[in-house]
Each structure stands twice: as structure tokens, then as C-alpha cells.
Amino acid sequence: MTLDRRIVLGGGLALAACDRRADAQIPGGQTPVAIPPLRSAAAFPVGVCVQEEQLGDPSLVPLIASQISQVTPEWEMKMEYIVKDDGSFRFEAPDRIAAFAKANGMRLFGHTLIWYAQVPGAFERLDEKRAKFADAYRNYILAVAGRYRGQAVGWDVVNEAVAEDGNGWRDSLWSKKLGKLRHMVLAFQHAREADPDAVLFLNDYNLENLPKKRATFMKLVEALLKAGAPIGGVGTQTHLAADLAPGEITRALKDLASLGLAVHVSEMDVSLTRSRGVLKDRNKLPAGQSRLYAEAAEAFSSLPAAQRFAFTHWGLRDKDSWLKRENPADAPLLFDDAGRPKAAAAAWIGGLRA
């Protein structure tokens, strides 16, 4: 069966499946609930991450098609996939994800061009001469962002640039070769050159629970703008633990929106196993998870409409989550392993404002 045929046939199957009530219990002691499609409940684009291999899953594809209006490649638009050892590029997987998005009338979001954590050997082996490295850096961004010009609505241009403790910016091969601020300015300028219309984002995590890191992130945005970087938005990954205190998400989104740029909740999930011990009764963690999903939906939908770029969930079914792969006991997403909506999904929809 070809990809396009599978996509088209899958799209009409999910509404009935998602509306079924079931008696089986799901992780965390929750019971499946009936919900409307996420994308029809929200007044802004609702996204999910996908991997290329998941596009062959006959149960996941219709779920995505019924619930989602924007797709982010989970890892196959990163250097770890695209840059081969000899320095050439491969695009088979991201091309297929882009084709899936197009066939289903979904927006495509690019993730990510420059990330401190990924250093392909081909870049490490480049001549020490700064100019040669700078040319390769520009060529990579032009090749990747330019390939999806006209389809990708936005890009995480620089990912996770702020130190975890909030004390400055991370060191990386890119910062050492091109300068701590300069490598980021260049990345945004090259991305704009590659695609004049895509919204360009600085993306990071732990901005909700680490106020110092959030403050440093916001100062970095201001420094980049002052230096001429064409930033159009800020992304907050929103990987949370279920016992995060009430109000933290709301404060973070208000702070980020004060920059006047588009805001993207870019990778949300709520872990039941990464809790910090704030809730002594672990049986309360699923309720905490639902509360956080509701708060995130309410806080995001309360932002000015022009700043609500998209709200992306980092997976739909629990079994597809990176957190589940890390800890099989976790259940961080809106749908259970079988694709049935959980209380967290109903809470997210209930938190939305018209």
C-alpha cells in the first residue's frame, strides 16, 4: 500500500474510534473518556510530533489525522539524521513526513536546525579555518530550511541555548567556532535567507519551573533581536512533571508573551514518573497531570490571538512517548496506549477558552 493511499484511507476512521467509551482502566487509574477532536476544539493549530516509521502504523495514522492540524518531525529533521558521516545529506524520512502533512492538509513545523547537543563528525572534522566552517554552517541551514520552503510554517532555528541553571548560554562546537551570540544570529539570518516566510523560533525547556532560566532565555531573545536576528517566535517545550505547582505555566506564558512575539507550546507532555516528590500521595499524580493540561490550555488560549502560533503535544498515545521508552511505567500523554482519550485530554479541552 502506498503512503498516499494509506493516509487518505486512514483519515476517516478515527472519529468513531475516539468517541467510543471503554471500560478498561488505563495507566494512572484513569478511565477512557469521549472527546471532540482536539483540532476542532481549539481556536489555534494543534500539533504532534511524529517519526517516519509511525506513518506505517494503521492505528496511529487515523488518530493523528482526526486530531491534529500540525506535524513536527520528532528527530528526523535534526542533524543526527540528515548529516551523513561523509558530510552529505539525506532527506528520505523528513520528506515522507512532509508528504504526510501535505496529504492530510496539515501544517509542517521544522525541528531543529541548530542544537548544541548534536555535533556530526563531518562538522568536527572541518578545517580549523573559521571561514570554511562558516560556509558549511550556512550551506547546511540553506539546504534544510530551503528544502521545505513554502511548506514549513516555522522552524526551531536554535534549540536549548540557555544553560540549565540559567547562568548564561551553553557552549557548543557552534559557539566555539562562530561565537556564542554570533552563531545564533547567523543561524536565524541563514534561515530567513532560506525561507522568507517561515516563522523563526528560539526553543527551550524548563522555562515553566525554572524562573531564572526563563529570565535568561528572555534576555537572550532581546540580545538576538538587538543583534539583527529575525526572530519571529519563542518556543517553550513544556515537558512537565505532574506535581508542578499551580500557576507556573500561566506565569511562564505571560512572561514569554510579553516579548510581543509568537508563542509556541512546542513539545508538551506531563510525566507521572518524573515527579519531584511534592505530592506524597502518588495516586494524585493523574489528577495533577490533568490539572496541568487544563492550565496550559487555558493560559495559552488566553494569549492574544496573533501570538498563539500553535500548541504541540509531544506524541498522542502514551506508548509512543520518549518518556515511556525511558520508563515503561509512565503515561504522559492525552491518549492511552490503545489510542483512547484519557481524563487529561478532556481536561485540556476543558481548559480552552473561546
3-351 folds as TIM Barrel (3.20.20)
Q: Which has the higher per-residue pLDDT, 20 or 135?
A: 135
| Concatenated DSSP letters of 33-101 | -----HHHH-SS-EEEEE-GGGGG-TTHHHHHHHH-SEEEESSTTSHHHHB-TTS-B--HHHHHHHHHH
Mean pLDDT of 203-220: 98
For residue 282, the 8-state DSSP code is: G
Q: Where are the beta strands (DSSP E) in the chain?
A: 46-50, 70-73, 107-115, 152-159, 199-204, 233-236, 239-241, 262-271, 308-313
Q: Which of 76, 208, 267, 295 is catalytic?
A: 267
Cα separation, 46 vs 265, whole angstroms? 10
**Which residue in the list 76, 160, 208, 295 is annotated as catalytic?**
160
Mean pLDDT score across all residues of the chain? 90
Report the alpha-carbon distance of residue 318 to residue 340 in Å, rounded: 10
What's residue 281's pLDDT? 62
| Whole-number pLDDT of residue 277 | 61
Residues 300, 307: Cα–Cα separation, whole Å: 9
- Say what the pLDDT of residue 2 is: 33
Q: pLDDT tens, 156-180?
A: 999 999 999 999 999 999 999 999 9
> Cell numbers 559557539 label which residue?
175
Is 267 among the catalytic positions?
yes
- Note the pLDDT of residue 90: 98
Q: Mean pLDDT over residues 274-278, rounded? A: 71
pLDDT value at 228 more than 80: yes
Instruction: Show the DSSP H helices in 269-321 as ranges.
Output: 285-301
Q: What is the pTM of this model?
A: 0.90
d(CA 284, CA 27): 13
Q: How far apart are CA 338 and CA 342, in angstroms?
A: 11
Residue 10 pLDDT greater than 90, yes or no: no
Domain ranges of the chain: 3-351
- How sure is the predictor about 284, in pLDDT bands with cuts at 50, 70 and 90? confident
